[in-house]
Amino acid sequence: MPGDKPKFYLTTPIYYTTTVIADAIRRYKRMRGYEVVMTTGTDEHGVNVERAAQKAGIPESEYVAKMAVAWKALWDELGISADEFVRTTDIRHVRTVQWLFKLFRENGYVYKGNYTGQYCIYDNAFVNDAKPGDNCPDCGRPTETITEENFYFKLSAFQQPLLDFYKKNPTFIQPETRKNEIISFVEGGLKDLSITRTTLRWGIPVPGEDPHVFYVWFDALTAYLSAVGGPEYEKRGFWPCDLHLVGKDIIRFHAVYWPAFLMAAMLPVPKQVWAHGWFLMDASKMSKSKGNVVLPRPIANMLGMDAMRYFLMREVVFGQDGNFSYDALVTRYNSDLANGLGNLASRTAAMIEKSFGGKIPKPGPRLPQDEALAKAASETIGEALDRFEKFEFARSLEAIWAAIAAADKYLTSEQPWAMGDSEADMQRKSTILWTSAELLRVVTVLAHPVLPDSTAKVWTLLGQPGRISAVELDGLRWGQLVAGVQLGKTQTLFPRVDKQEAIERIEAMANEELNPTQPPAPAAPAPAATAGGAAAAPAPEKIGIEDFTKVEMRVGQIKTAERIVGADKLLKLTVDIGTEIRQICAGIAQFYEPEKLIGRKVAVVVNLAPRKLRGVESNGMIVAASVGPEGRPVLAGFPDEDVEIGARLK
Ligand SMILES: [Zn+2]
* Whether the Cβ atoms of residue 66 and residue 56 lie closer than 8 Å to each other: no
Among the residue ranges 325-334, 487-496, 560-569, 570-579, the one predicted with the least confidence is 560-569
Q: How far apart are the C-alpha atoms of 562 and 593, rounded to whole Å?
A: 9
Say how many Å lie between the CA of residue 63 and the centre of ligand 1.
Answer: 21
Query: 428-465: per-residue pLDDT in tens?
Result: 999 999 999 999 999 999 999 999 999 999 999 999 99
What DSSP state is assigned to residue 475? G
Higher pLDDT pick, 13 / 218? 218
Q: How many Å lie between the centroid of ligand 1 and the Cα of residue 198?
A: 18
Task: For residue 289, report the distance from its CA to the centre of ligand 1, in Å.
Answer: 19
Distance 246 CA to ligand 1 centre (A): 30
Q: What is the pLDDT of residues 111-135, one digit of tens each?
A: 999 988 898 887 777 887 888 989 9
The CA 286 to ligand 1 mean position distance, Å, reads 26
Which of 431, 427, 437, 430 lies closest to 407 in space, CA to CA?
A: 437
Ligand 1: centre distance to CA 126 (Å): 9
For residue 119, the CA-to-ligand 1 centroid distance in Å is 8
Cα 140 to ligand 1 centre (Å) = 6
**What distance in angstroms lies between residue 53's CA and the mean position of ligand 1's atoms?**
16
pLDDT of 535 above 80:
no
Distance CA 391, CA 386 (A): 9
User: How far does the centroid of ligand 1 lie from the alpha carbon of residue 539, in Å?
Assistant: 16
CA 68 – ligand 1 centroid, Å: 27
> How far is the centre of ligand 1, averaged over its atoms, from the C-alpha of 152 (Å)?
25
Q: Ligand 1 mean position to 192 CA, how many Å? A: 27
Residue 615 has what pLDDT?
67
- Chain CA centroid to CA 308, Å: 10
Q: Provide the pLDDT for residue 532.
A: 28
How many angstroms is it from 340 CA to the middle of ligand 1?
54
Residue 403: other Cβ atoms inside 10 A? 24
Q: Where are the alpha helices (DSSP H) in 40-198?
A: 47-56, 60-77, 91-106, 159-168, 176-187
pLDDT at 136 over 80: yes
User: 237: alpha, beta or left, given left = phi > 0 and alpha = psi -120 to 50?
Assistant: left
- According to the model, what pLDDT value does residue 648 have? 86
Find the 365 Cα to ligand 1 centroid distance in Å: 79
Task: Give me ligand 1 centre to Cα 601, in Å.
Answer: 47
Higher pLDDT, 186 or 546: 186
Q: Cα of 127 to ligand 1 centre, how many Å?
A: 8
Ligand 1 mean position, distance from CA 120 (Å): 5
- Average pLDDT of the segment spanning 579-589: 85
Share of the chain above pLDDT 70, in %: 91
Calculate how far, in angstroms, residue 133's C-alpha sits from the geometric centre of ligand 1: 13
Say how many C-beta atoms besides its own lie within 10 A of residue 544's C-beta.
7
State the distance from the centre of ligand 1 to the C-alpha of 310, rounded, in angstroms. 43
CA of 123 to the centre of ligand 1 (A): 5
Question: Quick check: 68 pLDDT over 80?
Answer: yes
Measure 377 CA to ligand 1 centroid, in angstroms: 62
Residues 78-102 have pLDDT tens digits of: 778 889 999 999 999 999 999 999 9
Give 316-353 pLDDT, tens digit per residue: 766 777 777 888 899 999 999 999 999 999 999 999 99
- For β-strands 144-153 and 110-120, DSSP reports them as antiparallel
Burial of 92 (0-12, 13-18, 19+ CB in 10 A): middle
Q: Ligand 1 mean position to 138 CA, how many Å?
A: 5
pLDDT score at 536: 31
| pLDDT at residue 596 tops 50 | yes
Instruction: Judge residue 485's burial from the number of C-beta atoms within 10 Å of its C-beta, 0-12 exposed, 13-18 middle, 19 or more buried.
Output: middle
Cα of 476 from ligand 1 centre, angstroms = 60
67 Cα to the center of ligand 1, angstroms: 24
- Give yes or no for a contact between 315 and 297, defined as CB atoms under 8 angstroms apart: no
Distance separating alpha carbons of residues 190 and 291, to the nearest angstrom: 36
Determine the distance separating the centroid of ligand 1 and the alpha carbon of 293, expressed in angstroms.
Answer: 26
Distance 114 CA to ligand 1 centre (A): 22
Query: Does the structure show a pLDDT above 70 at 396?
Result: yes
Question: What is the CA(130)–ligand 1 centre distance, in A?
Answer: 12
Question: Distance from the CA of 541 to the center of ligand 1, in angstroms?
Answer: 19
The alpha carbon of 125 and the centre of ligand 1 are apart by a number of angstroms equal to 8
Distance 55 CA to ligand 1 centre (A): 14
Give 142's DSSP letter. B
| Separation in Å, CA 590 to CA 517, 523, 563, 633 | 18, 15, 10, 9
User: What is the distance of C-alpha 103 from the center of its chain?
Assistant: 35
10 close to 273: Cβ distance less than 8 angstroms: no
Ligand 1 (ion): which residues have CB within 5 A?
120, 122-123, 136, 138-139
Q: Name the DSSP class of 560.
A: E
- Nearest alpha carbon to residue 584 among 560, 548, 551: 560
